[in-house]
Each structure stands twice: as structure tokens, then as C-alpha cells.
């Protein structure tokens, strides 16, 4: 009896909430990008979001290039 009720409950649940596949997104991470232009060192922060897009901020002056 319990098995029949379980199967009936599973069938009803399947009608209400169809089975879907889960997909993994990209891990969210941030890093700094550096560049030397002439004698000046610049940096900007970049981020990868959970939907796998990368965006970077503006270049900011830090110091003289090493």
C-alpha cells in the first residue's frame, strides 16, 4: 500500500513539476589586470560572473612601471 501511494505521489509531482537538467555556471571570480604605458603602471579590476561573462572596470594609474 505504501509503495502504491509513493508511486502515485511521484506521478502527481512529475505532472506539477517536470524534470529538468541542472547546468553549472561559471565560478564568480575577480582579478586585477595590469599594463605599463610609457613609464606609468595602470590597473583595472575584472570579474567573471556566474553566467560566464567577463567585465572590467576603468584603468587607474597606480605608480611608475618597475
Q: Rounded to 5 degrees, what angle do the CA atoms 20, 25, 27 make?
A: 150
Would you give per-residue pLDDT tens digits along the chain (66 residues)? 556 556 666 665 566 665 656 567 888 899 999 999 999 999 999 999 988 999 999 999 999 998
| pLDDT, position 14 | 60
| pLDDT, position 23 | 60
Q: Are 41 and 34 in contact (CB under 8 A)?
A: yes
Q: Residue ranges of the domains in the chain?
A: 24-66
Amino acid at each position: 500500500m505504501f509503495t502504491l501511494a509513493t508511486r502515485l505521489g511521484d506521478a502527481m509531482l512529475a505532472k506539477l513539476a517536470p524534470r529538468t537538467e541542472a547546468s553549472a555556471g561559471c565560478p564568480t571570480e575577480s582579478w586585477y589586470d595590469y599594463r605599463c604605458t610609457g613609464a606609468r603602471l595602470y590597473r583595472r579590476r575584472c570579474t567573471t560572473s556566474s553566467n560566464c561573462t567577463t567585465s572590467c572596470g576603468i584603468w587607474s594609474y597606480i605608480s611608475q612601471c618597475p
